[in-house]
Amino acid sequence: GAQEAELAYLSAVAAVLPDDVARRRFATLAAQGGAVDPSAPLSFLRTNATEKTAFVLDFNGDVQASQTANLREEVTAVLGAAAPGDEVVLRLSTGGGTVTGYGLAAAQLLRLKEKGLHLTVCVEQVAASGGYMMACCGDRVVASPFAILGSIGVITDIPNVYERLQKEGIEFQTVTAGEFKRTVTPTKKVTKEDLAKTKKDITEIFDLFKGFVGA
């Protein structure tokens, strides 16, 4: 019957969504008493085809931006269900982290913009560094009175134990090909050239960061 078909459909959708995403979507469906149309993929995300829909996403980020994989799946689901005029609300909380991780997270939000969906970013406490990069993807940013937003900068911080190894009589051999294959590392003596190259690298990333948030 209809109920069996619905359950089969939900099982098929759950197979391609992360567990936490599927649980949230199915819980929403159950609470609203919505029905699933097997001919319209992801139609269960909409409660009324004649009304505009606001899709609410959450991103509580860590240093590695490990939540990006879930965000990517959620954005894919939204893009499959959204109609013209729909909006997306992102509840964002993160102090930033790796350049690559938060660059990828911001790219997921740009997918929403490319589809023409209006994006509102809500910040209750912190959206700093890479989090600020994500917030700048929004058409509108809403923040609580004492929320922290900003902190545009790039940092690299690596401990160095070269002198300690020398005192202990330990020599760490590294074989490389390429002038700057290894620059600032924990086990080698850092030269002025190494520091200059590292400074140049992070300055280039900083310039890209400023260009992104200023666009």
Catalytic positions, written as ranges: 129, 181
Query: Nearest-CA neighbor of 88 among 112, 68, 107, 72?
Result: 112
Does the CA dihedral 180-100-95-66 come out positive or negative?
negative
Does the CA dihedral 61-111-137-198 come out positive or negative?
positive
Assess contact for 133 and 212: CB atoms under 8 A: yes
Say whether 97 sits in a helix, a strand or coil: coil
Q: In whole angstroms, what separates CA 74 from the centre of its chain?
A: 11
Q: Which long-range contacts (CB under 8 A, 24 or more apart) does 139-142 make?
A: 139/113
Assess contact for 205 and 154: CB atoms under 8 A: yes
